[in-house]
C-alpha cells in the first residue's frame, strides 16, 4: 500500500497524534512502519507496540536508527495512520531525511526511531525507555547509521572506505588491522592508500555532528560489526568505517592542517569503548568529548556499558536534578564496587578554568563528566598499595574516609598546555628550571622521571611494550632539560646533530604528556610531585586507603574540619606506598604486569633486579593472619576474574582480591604504627 494523497484542506485539518500508553514494566516498545512511496510523497507511518516479554525468536523483526536529531527549527510534518483516522506529528529535518532514505518504493519497512517511538512529552515513559535502550538496539535485526545528505565530497569518502575495506580489516575486539590480500603491497607512508582529496573528504565525514553525539556510541556498540552506515545514497559498514579510522590513526606522512584534524578525530574514535569488555568509569571518561542536550544522559549512557550493566541498581529518572543524578551514581557505585575509591582518579583533571562552568553545587569528590579533559589520566598508581578502602560514611553532601597525611604543598608552578607558541617540552623545561634551579642528583632524577611520566617508561612494564622509551632515555631528556639554557636543542626538529638523538627525543618526549594541564609542586619536606593545575601553596597531600593516587585536599572555606578535593597527584616519596609500608628492599622495584584477561597493564607486581623474577606479593608485608590463606592461579579465577592473587578467610569464607589485602586495612596499619586520620570530603 503506497502513501495516500490528501487534499490541502484534509492535511490542514489533521489533528496531532496522541500517544497510547506503553506497559509500565519496560516490556514494550513502539516501532513504526514506513509506508512505501515516491521520493516526493509525504511520509506516512503507523505506530504499533511490540513486546520484549516473549522468546527472542518471537519478537517481530525491526531495524533501529542511529542518527542525530539536528536543529529543532522548521520541523517537518509526518502523517500517522491510526485506528480512528489520520494524525500528524512534527520531526526535525534530519529525522525527516532519514525517513525518506529508509522508505522503500514498493513495501513497508519497520524501524525504531527514538524521536517518534518514544513519547518525548511523557517524562516517565522516556525514563523507562532509556533504561532499556541497550536492549532496543541489541534486539534489532540491524542498526542503521544515518550521517545525513551527501555533502563535502562525502561520496568520495564512502567509496574510499569501501575500497580500503577490501584490503584491510579492523578487528575491533583486539584493536588491530589485519591484511586481507597478501598479494597486494601493504598500506605504508610510501604507499598510503589514500589521495589528498580522499583524506580531506574522510576528515570532513568524521567531523559531521553524528560522531560528536553521546548516545550513538552505545547504539553502534550494540549493533556490532553488521551496523550499516548510510550517507546520502552511499552505504558502508561500521566495521569498514573503523578500519579507515584505524588506518588513519596509524598513517605516517606529511603533517598539514587536514591530517592534524583527521588524527584528532581518529584518536578520539579509536579510544571509544566499543569492545566487548569495558569498564563503566572508563566509558564515562572517554565520552567526555561527546555532546548531549541533557547532561544526565552521560550517566544513563554509562549504565549500558560493561561492569555497570545489570549490576548498578539505577533507573534513568528525568525528574531528578543533574547534580543528584551524578551524586547518586557515585553512591550506588560505592555499594556496587565494595566501597572502592577508584572513581576519585576522575576528579579535578577536567576542572574548568571558568569557575561558573560545570554542575552547580556538586560535591568536590564527585566527578563532573560534563567537562572535557584538560589532561591525560595518570597511569595506574599504587600510592596506597593494596590497602582496602577504609570507608566511614557517604551522603549526598559528604564522603568520609580514612587515610594518611603525607605532605604539605610549598611551591607550585603550572606546566600549561601545549601550544604552537609554547610547546609542551618548553613549558616542562622552564617549569623544572624555576623550581629546581640547582638541579638534582641521578637517583632523584630517576624518581622524578617516574613522577613526570606517570611510570610509563619501558622497564616499568612486564613484558615491555614496543615503542616505549627506556628510563635511561627519559632521564637523559630530563637531565638535558634541567641543564639547557637554549631550549631549541630539545626540539626534535632542531636537534639534528645525530639522527639517534633526534629519534630519542621524539620517543622520550611523548612520555611527559601527563604534565600538560597539570602543575609541578614541591612539599615542605623537599619532595617533588605533579598534581592538578588548580593546586596551590598550603594544600594537603594525602593517601586515602584504597585510592591508587595521592589526593590534593584543601580545607573547606565553610568548615575547616572538612576538605575539598582538588585532584589526584604523584610525588617522589609515595609512588610505591612508602608512607604505609616503608621503602622497597633495594633489589626490588614496582612494575605493572600484563593482564592477559583484558590486555591492559593494570596489575601491580614486584620485580627482583638480581634474578629478574616477578611476584605479586609485596616483599614488605608481614605473614598473613592465621585465619587468612592466599589463593592464586586457577583457585583465584574461580572467585575473582583476572585477579592474580586473592585472599580467603577460613572462618567466614570471605574472599578479597589483591587490592584488599587483609594486612593493609586501617586496623592492621594502626598496629604497625601508621597514623591513620579521618578525612571528611565535601
> Contact at 8 Å (CB) between 264 and 325?
no
Strands (E), 441-490: 461-462
With b for 16 or more beta-carbon neighbours within 10 A and e for fewer, the 160-182 pattern comes to bbbebbebbbbebeeeebeeeee
Q: Do 44 and 117 form a contact (C-beta atoms < 8 A)? A: no
Question: Does residue 579 or residue 312 have the better pLDDT?
Answer: 579
Is a pLDDT exceeding 90 seen at residue 122? yes
Per-residue model confidence (pLDDT) at position 440: 78
**pLDDT band, residue 360 (cuts 50/70/90):** confident
Q: What is the pLDDT of residues 215-230, one digit of tens each?
A: 888 899 888 878 999 9
The pTM (predicted TM-score) of the whole model is: 0.84
675 to 540, 548, 651: CA distances (angstroms): 15, 19, 29
pLDDT of amino acid 350 = 57
Pairing mode, if any, of strands 44-51 and 76-82? Answer: parallel
What residues contact 560, with CB distance under 8 A and at least 6 apart?
none
The confidence score (pLDDT) of residue 478 equals: 85
Q: What is the pLDDT of residues 481-499, one digit of tens each?
A: 777 655 455 455 544 444 4
Q: Which pLDDT tens digit goes with each residue over 418-435? A: 655 556 667 777 888 888
Whether the pLDDT of residue 41 is over 60: the answer is yes
Most confident of 175-179, 245-249, 468-472: 468-472
Q: Which of 142-156, 257-271, 451-465, 475-489 has the lowest mean pLDDT?
A: 475-489
Cβ contact 571:528 at 8 Å = yes
The residues that bridge with 162 in the sheet, in sequence order, are: none
Residue 500: pLDDT band with limits 50, 70, 90: very low
Check residue 531 and give its pLDDT.
95
Tell me if 93 sits within 8 A of 75, measured CB to CB.
Answer: yes
Q: Which residues pair with 657 in a beta bridge?
A: 646
For 40-49, 483-492, 560-569, which range has the lowest pLDDT when averaged over its residues?
A: 483-492
**Which pLDDT value is given to residue 296?**
94
Q: Is the pLDDT of residue 94 over 70?
A: yes
pLDDT exceeding 90 applies to what percent of the chain? 53
502 pLDDT more than 90: no
Is residue 48's pLDDT more than 90? yes
77 Cβ neighbours under 8 A, 6+ residues apart: 11, 42, 88, 89, 90
Amino acid at each position: 500500500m503506497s502513501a495516500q494523497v490528501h487534499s490541502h484542506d484534509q492535511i490542514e485539518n489533521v489533528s496531532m497524534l496522541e500517544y497510547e500508553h506503553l506497559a509500565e514494566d519496560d516490556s514494550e516498545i513502539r516501532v513504526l512502519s514506513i509506508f512505501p512511496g515516491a521520493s516526493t510523497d509525504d511520509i506516512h507511518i503507523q505506530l504499533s507496540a511490540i513486546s520484549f516479554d516473549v522468546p527472542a525468536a518471537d519478537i517481530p523483526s525491526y531495524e533501529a536508527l542511529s542518527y542525530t536529531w539536528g536543529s529543532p527549527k522548521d520541523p517537518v510534518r509526518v502523517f500517522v495512520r491510526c485506528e480512528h483516522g489520520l494524525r500528524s506529528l512534527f520531526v526535525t529535518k534530519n529525522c525527516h531525511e532519514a525517513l525518506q532514505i529508509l522508505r522503500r518504493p514498493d513495501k513497508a519497512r519497520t524501524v525504531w526511531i527514538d524521536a517518534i517511538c518514544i513519547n518525548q512529552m511523557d517524562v516517565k515513559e522516556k525514563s523507562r525507555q532509556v533504561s532499556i535502550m541497550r536492549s532496543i538496539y541489541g534486539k534489532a535485526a540491524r542498526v542503521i547509521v544515518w550521517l545525513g545528505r551527501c555533502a563535502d565530497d562525502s561520496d568520495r569518502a564512502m567509496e574510499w572506505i569501501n575500497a580500503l575495506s577490501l584490503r584491510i580489516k579492523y578487528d575491533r575486539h583486539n584493536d588491530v588491522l589485519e591484511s586481507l590480500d597478501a598479494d597486494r603491497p601493504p598500506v605504508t607512508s610510501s604507499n598510503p592508500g589514500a589521495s589528498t582529496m580522499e583524506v580531506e573528504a574522510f576528515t570532513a565525514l568524521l567531523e559531521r555532528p553524528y560522531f560528536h553525539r553521546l548516545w550513538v556510541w552505545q547504539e553502534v556498540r550494540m549493533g556490532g560489526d553488521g551496523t550499516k552506515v548510510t550517507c546520502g545514497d552511499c552505504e558502508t559498514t561500521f566495521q569498514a568505517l573503523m578500519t579507515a579510522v584505524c588506518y588513519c590513526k596509524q598513517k605516517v606522512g606529511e603533517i598539514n592542517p587536514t591530517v592534524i584534524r583527521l588524527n584528532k578525530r581518529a584518536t578520539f574514535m579509536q579510544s571509544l569503548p566499543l569492545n566487548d569488555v569495558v569498564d563503566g568509569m572508563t566509558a564515562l571518561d572517554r565520552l567526555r568529548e561527546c555532546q548531549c542536550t541533557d547532561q544526565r544522559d552521560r550517566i544513563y549512557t554509562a549504565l549500558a556499558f560493561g561492569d555497570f550493566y545489570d549490576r548498578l541498581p539505577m533507573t534513568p529518572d528525568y525528574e531528578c536534578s543533574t547534580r543528584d543524578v551524578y551524586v547518586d551514581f557515585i553512591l550506588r557505585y560505592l555499594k556496587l564496587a565494595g566501597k572502592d575509591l577508584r572513581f576519585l582518579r576522575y576528579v579535578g583533571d577536567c576542572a574548568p578554568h571558568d569557575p561558573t562552568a560545570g554542575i552547580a553545587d556538586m560535591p568536590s569528590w564527585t566527578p563532573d563528566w560534563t567537562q572535557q579533559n584538560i589532561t591525560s589520566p595518570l597511569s595506574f598508581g599504587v600510592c596506597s598499595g593494596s590497602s582496602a578502602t577504609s570507608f566511614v560514611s557517604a551522603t549526598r553532601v559528604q564522603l568520609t574516609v580514612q587515610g594518611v597525611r603525607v605532605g604539605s604543598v610549598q611551591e607550585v608552578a603550572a606546566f600549561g598546555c601545549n601550544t604552537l607558541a609554547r610547546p609542551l617540552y618548553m613549558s616542562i623545561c622552564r617549569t623544572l628550571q624555576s623550581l629546581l634551579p640547582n638541579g638534582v642528583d641521578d637517583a632523584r632524577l630517576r624518581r622524578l622521571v617516574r613522577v613526570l611520566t606517570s611510570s610509563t617508561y619501558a622497564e616499568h612494564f612486564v613484558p615491555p611494550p614496543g615503542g616505549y622509551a627506556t628510563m635511561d632515555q627519559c632521564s637523559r631528556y630530563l637531565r638535558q632539560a634541567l641543564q639547557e639554557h637554549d631550549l631549541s636543542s630539545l626540539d626534535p626538529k632542531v636537534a639534528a646533530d645525530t639522527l639517534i638523538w633526534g629519534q630519542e627525543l621524539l620517543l622520550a618526549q611523548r612520555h611527559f604528556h601527563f604534565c600538560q594541564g597539570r602543575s609541578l609542586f614541591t612539599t615542605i619536606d623537599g619532595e617533588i610531585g605533579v598534581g592538578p593545575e588548580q593546586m596551590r601553596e598550603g594544600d594537603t597531600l594525602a593517601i586515602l586507603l584504597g585510592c591508587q593516587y595521592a589526593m590534593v585536599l584543601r580545607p573547606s572555606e565553610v568548615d575547616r574540619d572538612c576538605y575539598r578535593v582538588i585532584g589526584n597527584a604523584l610525588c617522589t616519596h609515595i609512588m610505591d606506598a612508602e608512607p604505609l609500608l616503608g621503602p622497597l628492599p633495594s633489589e626490588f622495584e614496582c612494575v605493572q604486569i600484563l593482564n592477559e584477561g583484558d590486555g591492559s597493564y593494570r596489575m601491580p607486581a614486584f620485580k627482583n633486579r638480581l634474578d629478574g623474577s616477578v611476584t605479586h606479593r609485596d616483599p614488605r608485608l608481614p605473614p598473613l593472619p592465621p585465619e587468612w590463606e592466599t589463593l592464586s592461579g586457577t583457585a583465584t579465577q574461580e572467585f575473582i576474574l583476572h585477579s592474580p592473587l586473592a585472599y580467603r578467610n577460613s572462618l567466614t569464607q570471605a574472599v578479597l582480591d589483591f587490592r584488599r589485602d587483609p594486612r593493609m586495612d586501617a586496623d592492621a596499619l594502626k598496629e604497625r604504627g601508621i597514623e591513620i586520620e579521618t578525612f571528611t570530603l565535601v
